[in-house]
């Protein structure tokens, strides 16, 4: 499904519970063609209703006393600090239908062999790049080979003394989470009188582990993701004609290159879904420095993972209480962001802030801070930075 068609869909909303008892619809699911796992997209601020303006689930207001409110939070007890993640691929298993005997055995068994050879673990660097690209978390790469090769060249070009000084000035990252991805591949062929149909799927199960206690954590909860070949290409493109037990025309299941291409597309689709789920549970947050009219200024931008056209709920935090003020569309610069409040909450506090902002600039103080928190990945980001816009 193309993202350009999303606006015409009847959105399937995912209910998120904020700090109030009311339910709010802040995201919607883009269904897959084959009824598998859906892409979770943050609603545009223009589509919010009054009841949707609530602090989204998983934003943590506990620990704000540990925040320095600088661009780079050092204390991990501060909920505004970015978490450091190591990504691991665990078991990559293959579960295919029984080996066929008879006239079409060769083409069928070649298909099994090609599915079995595909190693999703080889895409580990791709997943690291995708997660690091949103700047919502800090990714510790496991690409030791590339790092070692680069360091050899750097030592040769810059000298050991300069490299040692630079290394000494950099503080080492401390791992917060291990994210482990297990992969199961399945495959089968449906035989027809004139044409046969190839079908395969990839299931990714993701677990989050505290490396220091070895505890498997319930948060962030990405869950199971399932993608089939019918999600990435038209079903008709997987038909083939087998003549006298050999591949004749259509999709060539006996070609490792062709099968790998499809499985790569399926893996990439699974990574897209994984990223949207993670960004929903680990939102971008920033402090509002001021409000002028309906314009807001944030103290963080791209450096804190704020994405272009990000939908953010604006709320006041005072004496342990959270009270929503409005919903805004925000665009980041490198270390700050500017946004526009699209809809104000129907509340006495929101009216008070809006009235003061219309007469000048509303500036929060230390007793009554105002924050903005994202609700989910923007549709535009997936259109521009992922493969989801391709036909599938």
Say how far residue 337 (Cα) sits from the centre of its chain: 21
pLDDT, mean over the chain: 84
> What pLDDT sits at residue 98?
63
Q: Look at 297 and 29; give whichever has higher pLDDT.
A: 297
Mean pLDDT of the region 239-249: 84
The pLDDT of residue 380 is above 80: yes
The pLDDT of residue 9 is above 60: no
Cα–Cα distance, 343 to 178 (Å, whole number):
38
Question: How long is the chain?
Answer: 392
Range of weakest confidence among 103-117, 196-210, 306-320: 103-117
List, as own/partner pairs, every contact residues 184-187 make where C-beta atoms lie below 8 angstroms and the sequence separation is at least 24, other chains included: 184/93, 184/94, 184/95, 185/92, 185/93, 185/94, 185/95, 185/96, 185/115, 185/116, 185/118, 185/120, 185/263, 186/94, 186/95, 186/96, 187/94, 187/96, 187/97, 187/111, 187/112, 187/115
Selection from 223, 259, 226 nearest residue 240 by Cα: 259
* DSSP label at residue 38: P
**What are the pLDDT digits (tens) for 319-354?**
778 899 999 999 999 889 999 999 999 999 999 999
**Confidence class for position 382, pLDDT limits 50, 70, 90:** confident
φ/ψ of 285, rounded to 5, equals -135, 150
Cα–Cα distance, 100 to 97 (Å, whole number):
8
**Confidence class for position 216, pLDDT limits 50, 70, 90:** very high
Range of weakest confidence among 22-36, 61-75, 114-128: 61-75
In the three-class reduction of DSSP (H, G, I as helix; E, B as strand; rest coil), residue 170 is classed as coil
Mean pLDDT of the region 24-41: 86
Note the pTM of the prediction, 2 decimals: 0.83
> What pLDDT sits at residue 71?
60
**Which alpha helices (DSSP H) does the chain contain, by range?**
105-117, 124-133, 144-158, 160-169, 256-281, 348-359, 379-385
Structure tokens belonging to residue 332: 């980041």
Pairing of strands 177-190, 239-243: unpaired
Selection from 174, 151, 173, 147 nearest residue 162 by Cα: 151
Q: Look at 192 and 279; give whichever has higher pLDDT.
A: 279
Asked if residue 86 lies in contact with residue 132, where contact means CB atoms within 8 angstroms, the answer is no
Selection from 294, 299, 297 nearest residue 325 by Cα: 294
Q: How far is CA 213 from CA 82, 141, 177, 209, 217, in A?
A: 20, 22, 11, 8, 10
Q: What is the CA radius of gyration of the chain?
A: 25
Q: Look at 74 and 28; give whichever has higher pLDDT.
A: 28
> What pLDDT sits at residue 51?
95
The structural architecture, per CATH, of the domain 84-280 is 2-Layer Sandwich (3.30)
Cα–Cα distance, 323 to 337 (Å, whole number):
22
HEC per residue, 248-280 = EEECCCCCHHHHHHHHHHHHHHHHHHHHHHHHH
Selection from 46, 35, 42 nearest residue 1 by Cα: 35
> What pLDDT sits at residue 19?
33
> What pLDDT sits at residue 247?
80
Task: Report domain extents, the chain.
Answer: 3-75+283-383, 84-280
> What pLDDT sits at residue 24?
67
Place of tokens 């920033």: 286
Mean pLDDT of the region 241-249: 82
Range of weakest confidence among 12-21, 79-88, 167-176, 180-189: 12-21
> What pLDDT sits at residue 83?
86
> What pLDDT sits at residue 92?
77
């Amino acid at each position: 499904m193309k993202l350009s068609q999303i606006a015409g869909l009847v959105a399937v909303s995912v209910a998120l519970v904020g700090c109030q008892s009311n339910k709010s619809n802040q995201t919607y699911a883009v269904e897959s063609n084959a009824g598998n796992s859906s892409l979770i997209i943050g609603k545009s601020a223009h589509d919010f209703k009054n009841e949707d303006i609530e602090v989204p689930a998983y934003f943590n207001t506990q620990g704000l006393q540990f925040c320095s409110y600088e661009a780079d939070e050092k204390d991990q007890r501060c909920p505004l600090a970015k978490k450091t993640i190591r990504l691991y691929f665990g078991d990559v298993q293959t579960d295919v239908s029984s080996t066929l005997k008879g006239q079409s055995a060769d083409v069928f068994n070649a298909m099994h062999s090609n599915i079995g050879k595909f190693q999703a673990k080889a895409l580990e660097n791709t997943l690291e790049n995708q997660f690091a690209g949103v700047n919502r978390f800090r990714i510790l790469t496991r690409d030791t080979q590339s790092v070692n090769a680069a360091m050899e060249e750097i030592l040769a070009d810059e000298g050991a003394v300069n490299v040692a000084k630079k290394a000494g000035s950099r503080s080492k990252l401390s791992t917060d989470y291990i994210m482990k991805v297990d992969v199961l591949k399945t495959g089968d062929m449906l035989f027809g009188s004139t044409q046969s149909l190839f079908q395969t799927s990839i299931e990714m199960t993701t677990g989050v582990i505290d490396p220091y206690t070895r505890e498997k954590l319930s948060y962030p909860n990405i869950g199971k993701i399932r993608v089939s070949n019918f999600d990435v290409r038209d079903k008709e493109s997987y038909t083939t004609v087998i003549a006298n037990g050999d591949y004749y025309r259509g999709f060539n299941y006996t070609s490792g290159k062709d099968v790998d291409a499809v499985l790569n597309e399926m893996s990439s689709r699974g990574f897209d879904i994984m990223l949207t789920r993670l960004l929903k549970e680990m939102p971008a947050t920033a402090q509002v420095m001021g409000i002028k009219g309906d314009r807001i200024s944030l103290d963080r931008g791209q450096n804190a993972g704020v994405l272009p056209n990000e939908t953010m709920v604006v709320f006041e935090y005072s004496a342990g209480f959270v009270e929503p003020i409005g919903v805004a569309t925000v665009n980041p610069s490198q270390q700050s962001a500017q946004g526009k409040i699209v809809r104000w909450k129907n509340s006495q506090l929101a009216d008070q802030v809006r009235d003061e902002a219309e007469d000048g600039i509303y500036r929060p103080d230390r007793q009554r801070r105002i924050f903005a928190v994202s609700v989910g990945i923007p549709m535009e980001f997936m259109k521009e930075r992922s493969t989801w816009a391709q036909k599938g």
